[in-house]
Amino acid sequence: MKSAVTNLPNDDHVMRHVSWTRLRKDEDDNILGFLPDAFQRNENHTSLSVNWLEYFEGDRQNQIQGSVRMFRKTITVRPKSAFGIGNVAKIKEVCRSNGANVRIVYEPEENNPSHSGIRRLPRDDFSLLEALAADAFVELVHNTAIPLDESGE
């Protein structure tokens, strides 16, 4: 297991689970990306929950599979939900250009050792959240694209 760090490296990536209701769709429900609301942290949370992708071993595809399966073990993941992937440096840059100096830190939890958080993210800045949705979390992974593992996760 990798050792705990405070700030995630700029070259690394984080993954965010996005429910069906927060996905950006066209008028026929084709998924196009994310709504700003996908990146609004909960009122009672101090950071936006993400998984650290490079926590998982192997190549990029293995890391994505590992992260998605970790989400499935720890939270409710519905069939049509998706996952957004963003580069750490890009997320910080997008936030900075919108007036927010965020930190992206490793916050391992007992049941999710890849758990990390985006701290100091303003909760209700619609422009900033839209910028994150459009310009920072630029990769989308459909939940259905990741096969179940042996345990059914």
Partner 1 sequence: MTSIITPEAPSASTAMSASMLASVDVDPKFMKIAHDIDSLLNQLSPSKAVVAPPETQVLEQQLFDALAAVKILTSQVAMHLDRELRQKFFQQLDSLHDVQEWEPGDEPIREASFATFLKAILSINPARRPGLGLSNTGNLVAAWTTGRDRLTIEFQPNDRVRWVLARYRDTDEPARFAGQTHVFDLGEGLAPHHPEHWFSHEERSDEPSQ
Q: Which stretch binds partner 1 (CB under 8 A): 27-35, 48-56, 62-70, 110-118?
A: 27-35
Two tokens at 108?
């391992």
Instruction: Please tell me whether residue 61 binds partner 1 under the rule CB under 8 A.
Output: no
- Comparing CA positions, the residue from 78, 71, 79, 73 lying closest to residue 50 is 71
Instruction: Please tell me whether residue 153 binds partner 1 under the rule CB under 8 A.
Output: no
DSSP assignment string, 40-108: PPPTT-SEEEEEEGGGS-SSHHHHHHHHHHHHHHHS---TT-EEEEEEHHHHHHHHHHTT---EEEE--
Q: Considering the complex, what minimum distance in angstroms separates the CB of residue 31 from partner 1?
A: 5
Q: Which CB sits closer to partner 1, 7 or 111?
A: 111
Cα 44 from chain centroid (whole Å):
18
What letter would DSSP give residue 35? Answer: -
Cα(76)–Cα(99) distance, rounded to whole angstroms?
33
Q: Which CB sits closer to partner 1, 90 or 103?
A: 90
Q: Which of 79, 148, 151, 152 binds partner 1 (CB under 8 A)?
A: 79
Q: Which stretch binds partner 1 (CB under 8 A): 4-12, 13-21, 52-60, 103-111?
A: 13-21
Q: Which of 89, 100, 105, 134 binds partner 1 (CB under 8 A)?
A: 134
Q: Are strands 115-119 and 23-25 parallel, antiparallel or unpaired?
A: unpaired
Instruction: Summarize as ranges the residues that interact with partner 1 (CB under 8 A).
Output: 19-27, 29-33, 35-37, 40, 42, 76, 78-81, 126-127, 130-131, 134-135, 140, 142
